[in-house]
Structure 1
Amino acid sequence: MLMALIDVDDPGMLVLPTHRVLFDLTAEQVQQLTAAQLSRYFAVKQVAATDDNTLLAELAQVGSQQPALLVKTADQALLLTINEQGRQLMGESGHSEAWNALDVAMVQHLILETLLHITAEDVAAGKNIRYIHDTQHALQALNNKEAQAIILLNGIPFRQVRDVALADDRMPQKSTYLYPKLITGLVINPLW
């Protein structure tokens, strides 16, 4: 069996964010992305940043203290942190406590599944959601009207990935964009 052993405290090992780009939403689904609806599960802060770098800096600053995400549409930018009702619903997810603490799990369970009713089958079929690693490409998709909304995330601390694995759980889809990547072909040889 091939494996790579990594020090979870290595400062050069990163889990970069994978942003969610939402498209082909119904009017009812778009309505669920308003501050009033999101406040059912999140503390919502309207961000009136003049540029995208300021938005990202605020997301990173809040995310350094607690799980945070940013929902951006053509009309608004909302910085979200989970509230008590959201924590209770996450506790009913059927996943481990470590999984429930992930911002990307909150996106999946509270926003995509609960508010927007986007199922795992919809995701597998490529409906309503695309995943983008590059923040500028995600913002550009929104600006070019290729998306109705984007959900921007912070990177996940590597220890959280370890905690989910130790809880015998699996990370949410498209949440482990590890950097740097292992060198391809370094150890590929016939084993016979």
Structure 2
Amino acid sequence: MRVRPFRGVRYDPHKVEIADVVAPPYDIISSELKEELLERSPFNVVRLILPEGYRRAALLWRSWLEEGVLLREEEPCLYVLRDTFELSGRRMTRFGLLAEVRLEPLGRGKVFPHERTFPKVTEDRLNLLRATGAQFSPIFGLYEEPEVEGLMKEVQAEPPLVDYEDRGVRRTLWRVPEGPVASRISERLEAPSIFIADGHHRYETALAYREECGGEGDGHEYVLMYLVDMRSSGLVILPVHRVVLSAPVEEEEVLARLRRSFELSPSEDLARLREEVERDGVFGLYRRGRLYRMRPMQEAEDALKDLPPFWRRVPVAVLQALALEGALGITPDMMKSGEHLRFTPDLGEAMRAVDEGEALMAFIVPPTEIEHVRRVAEAGEVMPHKSTYFHPKPPSGLVMREVRRSPCPR
């Protein structure tokens, strides 16, 4: 079975407040947020996903299980997570399935990436998995099979396991034990492709761990995933704005260099500019307290001819080619270093960085469309770095998965 129930590990809601012990994915936790999570509870999962040491994480994991802070399910289950939140004044609901999914090489079967990964990050996650033998955070995957969401909605008639609110998101969790409903869900997910939305490094970590473990048992043949229908009305992709910290060009030349590829016109209304960016295929620029509308010029098409075909339809790829690389000279390797660019879905944060002198400028971008993610992945390509921000992120620590109780032979 490709997508199947598993014996999840959960916090005992009689011993902890669930909102106090869960956390966002490790890669979006700032140092300030980590301190806040540590203060919430001595059992917060941040101690496992961003530990003081791998051995320390393993000791905590085992001790929390022994003390009964964490509970193993008595039988394999699927889990349905309903997220309810507001976005731009609209009430949104997203249904996701927590399950274990059989591992297969990325892009050579039915699991597709849309981002590049970095070996240093994968090694860190692999060391953590080796030490603990557990997966604390689900990989966010997308599928297309409308019947599954309908089956997930049916479980709402049952009392939930957990119901809590965290950072503006109401999260409600149901358990679906092995049986007719779980079987129907698994059967409907046997054929569709799965596109990784978030968690590429953790997926590659699971693949590496499977190779290390070899053929003993099948726990390492699967990985914990959170699956959402890519046509769901509750699936939200936020724009990821580009904040330029430094660039290898003279600051006084910036506008002139941008005007080689863009029509630049001043804008006095931020709300209107944001609407135009999302609707009309333009970009925004914030520099020295002034806003500009940036429309790619027809003559700039030649500069895009070397891009993979599907990239030319992805706005952040166009901005990267024409503005970041073409006008400002920031190469892909420079982007990865973190010294020249920062990425944020929070436009207010991006503009504050400019106002406070931390950044030279900020580019306002539209959200990437889900169809672009699918087409680029199916074509065997990957998106530019930080092209998507799926909101809200599935929580770490809500349901965890024990891969092995003893270390893999290496």
Give ranges in structure 1 of 5+ residues lacking alignment.
none
SS in structure 2 opposite 1:33?
Answer: helix
Which of 1 and 2 has greater Rg? 2
| TM-score, structure 1 normalization | 0.82
Aligned partners of 1:91 and 1:5: how far apart in 2? 35
Range that drifts further, 148-157 or 119-128? 119-128
Aligned partners of 2:277 and 2:359: how far apart in 1? 25
CA contact (8 A) 2:278 2:367 kept: no
Q: Which has the higher contact order (CA 8 A, sep 6+)?
A: 1
Q: CA RMSD in A?
A: 2.2
Q: Does 1:159 align with 2:371?
A: yes
Within a 5 Å distance, the mapping from 1:69-88 to structure 2 comes to 69-74=283-288, 76-88=290-302
Within a 5 Å distance, the mapping from 1:1-192 to structure 2 comes to 1=103, 2=223, 3-25=225-247, 28-34=249-255, 36-47=256-267, 49=268, 54-66=269-281, 68-74=282-288, 76-93=290-307, 95=308, 97-186=309-398, 188-192=400-404
Cα shift readout 1:97-154 (whole Å, capped 9, x = no counterpart): 2211111112211111111111222223222211122111111111111111111112
Aligned partners of 1:133 and 1:32: how far apart in 2? 27
Q: Percent identity?
A: 26
| TM-score, structure 2 normalization | 0.41
CA contact (8 A) 1:44 1:78 kept: yes
The structure richer in strand per residue is 2
Residue aligning to 2:17: none
Give ranges in structure 2 of 5+ residues lacking alignment.
1-102, 104-222, 405-410
Work out the number of aligned pairs and report it. 182
CA contact (8 A) 1:69 1:151 kept: yes
Superposed displacement of residue 176, structure 1:
1.6
Aligned partners of 1:11 and 1:78: how far apart in 2? 32
Superposed displacement of residue 29, structure 1:
4.0
Aligned partners of 1:55 and 1:87: how far apart in 2? 28
Closer, same or farther: CA 123–61 of 1 in aligned 2, 3 Å:
closer
